[in-house]
Amino acid sequence: MVRAAVLPAVGAPLEIAEIELPEPGPGRVRVRLAAAGVCHSDLSLSNGTMRVPLPAVLGHEGAGTVVSVGPGVTHVAPGDGVVLNWAPSCGSCPPCADGEVWLCESALTGTGGRHARTADGTELHPGLNVGAFAEETVVAANCVLPLPAGIPLTEAALLGCAVLTGYGAVHHAARVRAGESVVVFGVGGVGLAVLQSARIAGAATVVAVDVSPEKEALARAAGATAYVVASDTTAKDIRGLTGGRGADAAVECVGRATTIRTAWESTRRGGRTTVVGIGGKDQRVTFNALELFHWGRTLAGCVYGNSDPAKDLPVIAGHIRDGRFDLGALVTERIGLDGIPAAFENMLAGRGGRALVVF
């Protein structure tokens, strides 16, 4: 039996419970978690913005050590450090065949499967495939990626979502080029990763926007050259910081209609807006036909940073080892499993960066 944070129903409080995991069968891996990040997507699962089968063990951003492997698993072995991959690609569906592995049609198939049992026999599902809010988990082999050499195991948890998403949003989705101006909406865990990645890309001007003035120091440490507290004049303020034109690229990490619209308005004519934040279906963004023509801007969604984790992790690891990317700078709080509800409250209130559950 291991301890885990279980979501019994939409909107219900998380319950810390003892769960029983099965031994890994063919193509499965058992992992002892070192740490798990508390992502906004976990909050979205708990409040019903995103739907998964329940009850479930939440948590999808994690890293740990392989305990045991089932038959047929050869790319990792007991004792190996691994990063959990919540959206594994099948390699054979049309998006995968086209190289768009982040859009794999089978990526979340495992979420509907049986994962574990509580002490009273209740069947549990794995939230977003991996069930990382637990001392140990059992996952499909393609949900584990070997930890690159020289990366600390605890902070490596952030690679599983925030860093891959933030890095990919800049380098794959927005395709930021050296010398460009970038504005980042939302200075949470993903936003901080976007800021660091924009700096790595060589952006000349990096503007961070958030509702909280207290996050300015965090943002500037991550690479922001300017900070704007969100208001009704945000788009105007950003134009003032970018020579009156607007930013070349905007990355929205909040998932709200008003923020998406403001991000779009903050870019120059022909600018690019990338939406990373996950909003509810009631969040509707409106445009008129004339402005779409006149401004010539683009607005695009971004899933998991449009990343291929197997290819991107080694590249990101190189930036970490060379001191260009600071994993620890994303973490503003280290907690236990029982600290997750408070971390959710901090997210709702716009406080802090990434909370990290350390086992």
Answer yes or no: do 25 and 100 share one domain: yes
Answer yes or no: do 108 and 211 share one domain: no
Phi, psi of 35 (to 5 degrees): -165, 160
Answer yes or no: do 182 and 126 share one domain: no
Average pLDDT over residues 49-56: 90
Q: How does DSSP classify residue 134?
A: B
Q: Tell me whether residue 313 is in a domain.
A: no
Q: Tell me whether residue 321 is in a domain.
A: no
Pairing outcome for strands 267-275 and 247-252? parallel
Q: How does DSSP classify residue 233?
A: T
Q: How far is CA 337 from CA 16, 34, 125, 327, in A?
A: 7, 12, 18, 21
| 112, pLDDT greater than 90 | no
Answer yes or no: do 57 and 177 share one domain: no
Better-predicted residue by pLDDT, 317 or 349 = 317
Answer yes or no: do 286 and 353 share one domain: no
Q: Tell me whether residue 51 is in a domain.
A: yes
Please tell me the predicted confidence (pLDDT) of residue 94. 97
Can you give the CATH number for the domain in which 276 is found?
3.40.50.720
pLDDT band of 113, cuts 50, 70, 90: confident
Answer yes or no: do 86 and 29 share one domain: yes
Answer yes or no: do 72 and 12 share one domain: yes
Strand pairing partners for 331?
354
Average pLDDT over residues 249-261: 97
Please tell me the predicted confidence (pLDDT) of residue 349. 87
Tell me the three state secondary structure of residue 355. strand
In this predicted model, what pLDDT tens digit does every residue of 213-241 receive, in sequence order?
999 999 999 999 999 999 999 999 999 99
Can you give the CATH number for the domain in which 90 is found?
3.90.180.10
Answer yes or no: do 142 and 22 share one domain: yes
pLDDT band of 50, cuts 50, 70, 90: confident
Residue 343 belongs to domain spanning:
2-160+326-358
Please tell me the predicted confidence (pLDDT) of residue 32. 98
| 80, pLDDT greater than 90 | yes
| 356, pLDDT greater than 90 | yes
DSSP per-residue string spanning 10-76: TTPPPEEEEEEPPPP-TTEEEEEEEEEEE-HHHHHHHHTSS---SSEE---EEEEEEEEE-TT--S-
- Give helix 340-349 / helix 40-47 axis angle, nearest 10°: 100
Cα gap 334→171, rounded to integer Å: 29
Which uninterrupted H or E stretch holds 194? helix 189-201
Answer yes or no: do 141 and 7 share one domain: yes
Answer yes or no: do 295 and 203 share one domain: yes
| 27, pLDDT greater than 90 | yes
Please tell me the predicted confidence (pLDDT) of residue 142. 95
Average pLDDT over residues 129-144: 96
Q: Tell me whether residue 319 is in a domain.
A: no
Please tell me the predicted confidence (pLDDT) of residue 3. 97
Q: Give the mean pLDDT of the chain.
A: 96
Q: How does DSSP classify residue 172?
A: I
Q: Tell me whether residue 152 is in a domain.
A: yes
Domain count, the chain: 2
Q: How far is CA 5 from CA 158, 159, 334, 355, in A?
A: 19, 21, 16, 15
Tokens of 210: 């958030």
Please tell me the predicted confidence (pLDDT) of residue 51. 86
Answer yes or no: do 171 and 295 share one domain: yes
Q: Tell me whether residue 214 is in a domain.
A: yes
Q: Quick one: what percent of the chain has pLDDT higher than 70?
A: 100
Answer yes or no: do 130 and 275 share one domain: no
